[in-house]
Structure 1
Amino acid sequence: MTRDRSVLPRRGMLLAGLAAPFVIPRAARAAERVTFVLNWTAAADHCPYYLAKAQGWYEKAGLDVTIEAGRGSGASAQRVAAGTAQLGIADMPTALLARSRGGNLAAVMTVYANSPQTFYWLRSSGISGPRDFPGRSVGNPPGDAARIMWPVFARRVGIDPASVRFVNIAPPAKIPSLKSKVIDITTDFWNEHDLKAREFGADLGFQRWSDLGLNSYGNSIIANGDVLAKQPDLVRSFVRVSQRAFAATVADPQPALRALFAAVSGLDDWTQQRQWERVKELMRDPTTTSVALGAFDAARMRADYDLIQSQFEGAQPFDLDKAYTNAFLDTGTKMAAA
């Protein structure tokens, strides 16, 4: 693991309520086993969960949490809906689409209040923007949220959704595949931007979805519907401990990054430090700074629901109020305003 200690992020504000008790310890009872599936391979955006596990916060809340790597939001939503993982992370529109198709899941905390979705390409390939995508190849994993939501993006920029060819590649292969020209375009989250900027310099072209008005909620914690109904205390404990961990990491990311490095190999400081700084940007909006860290805004959720219903054939109507909740959040913990 390469460590560049010359680069350190500025320390964030200590969030309100950070020191307050979040859950009542249940040490007298046997710990409840929880499988928590990530949306992707572990990186800085997941380090708060590793902090909570390393510090024993989940354990003190009566939870025996196993964190599993994911293969995209579509795949994690499927696992949570099927009950092979009680909890997981998925891009919010992807989770809503799964719900519209009968998926037994609901969102209980947002992590990315802003969409992280971004397309990347090399300017030397002749691509100057999304209008040049037709006839090109896009490389990403089959369960990637960007692939699932591609028709929405394509229609927004005025191109035929069927005009590109998708190529299946693993998450670590995105940069090498773009560099070797195996693919023309790839997708990734904005928090991964600095690594690509360092690799490709001025040749890097990119388009953030949010800059086109496609600012749906991003990564969110989702729960299996049966678990939510039958084990609400389990969900509440996990959410509040996770809130506490995110608040602590915003205040000082170093312990969380150390916990991540101890649990996951192949990561370097330079990338993860910068990634976390962009994660904080994605977490911050008027709702997370005034209501609670992780809180959803009802109007924005309605807009995400309407987007799914209008853009995807076969999406069935459902009760949006049952597809997400802020009920498990500690309102004493808020995202720092800056």
Structure 2
Amino acid sequence: MRGGTMRSGKIGMSLVVTGVALATVAACGQTGAGDSPGGQNADGLSEVTLTLNWVPYGEHAPFYYGVEQGIFEDEGIDLTIQPGNGSGSTVQQVAQRNTEFGWADTPPLANGISSGMPVRSVGVFLQTGPSSVEFFDDQGIAEPADLVGKTVAGTPGDAMYGTFPAWLELNGVDPADVTVVNVDAAGKIAALIEGRVDAIQGFHHDQAPTIENQTGKEVSALPFSDFGMNLLGTGLLAHEATIEGDPELVQAMVRATSESFLAASEDPEAAVAAMAAGAEQAPDESVLAAQLEATIGLLNLEEAPAPGVNTEQQWTGTLTFLAENTEFEGEATPDAYWDGTFGEDL
């Protein structure tokens, strides 16, 4: 612990609301910076809410570790962590200014911005995307061509669903030769376990350890990034008004998040313990540990100057792929989606 003292932090557990109309979001984009839902607590710390992309899993352990270790407090932030209901919903919540910051996957964020939502990424942390196809080892799947004739569960609207056909084509597979079964996000794991599908689209660093824990069976995955398609993954986003009206708060949040991820990578066992103690709805510690270990491998710490620092080339590559291969209609201009200035001081 920093200075030998455990710091306290609030962990909010209310689920976010889904299905917000774009017109409402656009109207919220006109809200002034002074109308942000945050304030200051009795100790003079900025009360900040972070809405995750999903219910807590190992990828999120650095946030809980950062709260426990006082990293956010040292940056003047009293952090409340809320579960999310999918990246798209989290982007909407930030656009509505129901939460100061969001943690969301890059493709849904890009889609939200291209449709008019006044938000920006302030740093992507998972620089190797976790999108994949997951399956039990006994399926004998080793490459995309082995998916021909298989049934794969996907959730309409998420990043994997939209990029899956392009990924198949990139690997010489006709999407018509793979049957996609539409399943809501919460039901994909059950569909695989119950044998209703051969494989699922998912984040391999999250779902694979969960499935193995529930079934005792080995799970393998075909990461999209290993087969020609690496898109930037999850990271921090904020409302344009917050970025423009309180850049010091944004810089503090980015700096604390980066430090927390680096600290968690150096002591993952302590980070898992902090999350197990601080988060409701969290998986078993063994699952958390496996998820965090896989997450650390996606940070590209050997190449990035610090967690959360991106390059214009990375953003251009992700946006260009989305524009050329999916229904994404935005331009491949990084500064329309990402404010990289907050990573310059990391």
Same fold flag (TM > 0.5): yes
Q: Is structure 2 residue 179 aligned with structure 1 residue 168? A: no
Which residue, 63, 81, 98 being the options, matches 2:112?
A: 98
Aligned to 1:189: 203
CA contact (8 A) 2:316 2:333 kept: no
Q: Please give the alpha-carbon distance, in whole angstroms, between the structure 2 residues aligned to 1:29 and 1:322.
A: 36
Q: Report how many residues are paired.
A: 303
Distance 1:247 1:94, change over 3 A: same
TM normalised by structure 1 equals 0.78
SS at match of 1:328: helix
Superposed CA offset, 1:145-200 (max 9, x none): 212333432432332379634433344x4433212123332122232334545646
Question: Matched residues in 1 for 2:181 and 2:47: separation?
Answer: 37
Q: Which of the residues 143, 146, 158 maps onto 2:160?
A: 146
Deviation at 1:293, TM superposition (A): 2.2
- The alignment yields a C-alpha RMSD, in angstroms, of 3.0
Q: Residue in 2 aligned with 1:18? A: none
Residue in 1 that maps onto 2:30: none
Q: Which amino acid aligns with 2:45?
A: A
Task: Give the match for residue 32 of structure 2.
Answer: none
Q: In the alignment, which residue of structure 2 is the partner of 1:237? A: 252
Report Cα offsets for 1:48-90 as digits up to 9, x if no partner: 1112223343344333322111222222222223332221112
Q: Which amino acid in 2 is paired with 1:269? A: E
Offset, 1:95: 1.6
Q: 1:122 to 1:267 in 2, by over 3 A?
A: closer
Change (3 A) 1:302 1:62: same
Seen in structure 2, the aligned counterparts of structure 1 residues 234 and 175 have a Cα distance that, compared at 3 Å, is: same
Distance 1:141 1:147 in 2: 6
- Are the aligned partners of 1:240 and 1:330 in contact in 2 as well (CA < 8 Å)? no
Summarize the Cα distance change of 1:51–1:145 in structure 2 as closer, same or farther, 3 Å threshold.
same
Instruction: Assess if the C-alpha contact under 8 Å between 2:133 and 2:204 holds in 1.
Output: no
Query: Aligned residue for 2:298?
Result: 282
Distance 1:123 1:28, change over 3 A: closer
Structure 1 Cα separation of the partners of residues 176 and 312 of structure 2: 29
* Offset, 1:317: 2.3
Q: Would the alpha carbon gap of residues 296 and 114 (structure 1) be closer, same or farther in structure 2, given more than 3 Å must change?
A: same
Amino acid of the residue matched to residue 247 of structure 1?
L
The superposition leaves residues 190-225 of structure 1 with CA deviations (integer Å, 9 ceiling, x where unpaired) of 3233454564646x4531101111011111111122
**Are residue 295 (structure 1) and residue 309 (structure 2) matched?**
yes
- Taking the aligned partners of 2:164 and 2:254, their CA distance within structure 1 comes to 30
SS at 2:67's partner residue? helix
Specify whether residues 316 and 269 from structure 1 end up closer, same or farther in structure 2 by C-alpha distance, changes over 3 A only: closer
Deviations 1:272-316 (A, max 9, x none): 21222211111115541xx22211122121111111222234613
C-alpha distance in structure 2 between counterparts of 1:234 and 1:118, whole Å = 34
Matched, 1:253 2:268: yes
Q: Tell me, what secondary structure is at the counterpart of 1:119?
A: strand
CA offsets, 1:98-138, max 9 Å, x none?
22222222111221111111101346668675446567554
Instruction: Tell whether the 8 Å contact from 2:41 to 2:47 is kept in structure 1 after alignment.
Output: no
Name the aligned partner's letter for residue 120 of structure 1.
E
- Residues 80-119 of structure 1: pairs in structure 2 closer than 5 A: 80-119=94-133
TM-score by length of 2: 0.76
- Structure 2 distance, partners of 1:69, 1:114, is 23
Change (3 A) 1:225 1:122: same
Q: CA 1:137 to 1:68, structure 2 compared with 1: closer, same or farther past 3 Å?
A: farther
* Change beyond 3 A, Cα 1:125–1:244: closer
Counterpart of 1:214 in structure 2: which amino acid?
A: M
Shifted more, 238-247 versus 183-192: the winner is 183-192
What residue in structure 1 maps to residue 66 of structure 2?
52
- Matched with 1:310 is 324
Pick closer, same or farther for the CA change 1:316–1:115 going to 2, 3 Å. Answer: closer
Q: Percent identity?
A: 25
Separation in structure 2 between the aligned mates of residue 79 and residue 211 of structure 1, nearest angstrom: 32
Offset of 1:238 from its aligned partner?
A: 0.9
Change (3 A) 1:181 1:296: same
Of residues 176-185 and 241-250 in structure 1, the stretch that sits farther from structure 2 once superposed is: 176-185
Q: Is the 8 A contact 1:118 1:209 kept in 2?
A: yes
* Deviation of the 1:236 alpha carbon: 0.9
Return 70-79 or 293-302, whichever deviates more: 70-79
**Contact residue 322 and residue 328 of structure 2 kept, 8 A:** no
Change (3 A) 1:292 1:150: same
1:125 and 1:231, CA in 2 relative to 1: closer, same or farther beyond 3 A? Answer: same
Unaligned segments of structure 2, at least 5 residues? 1-39
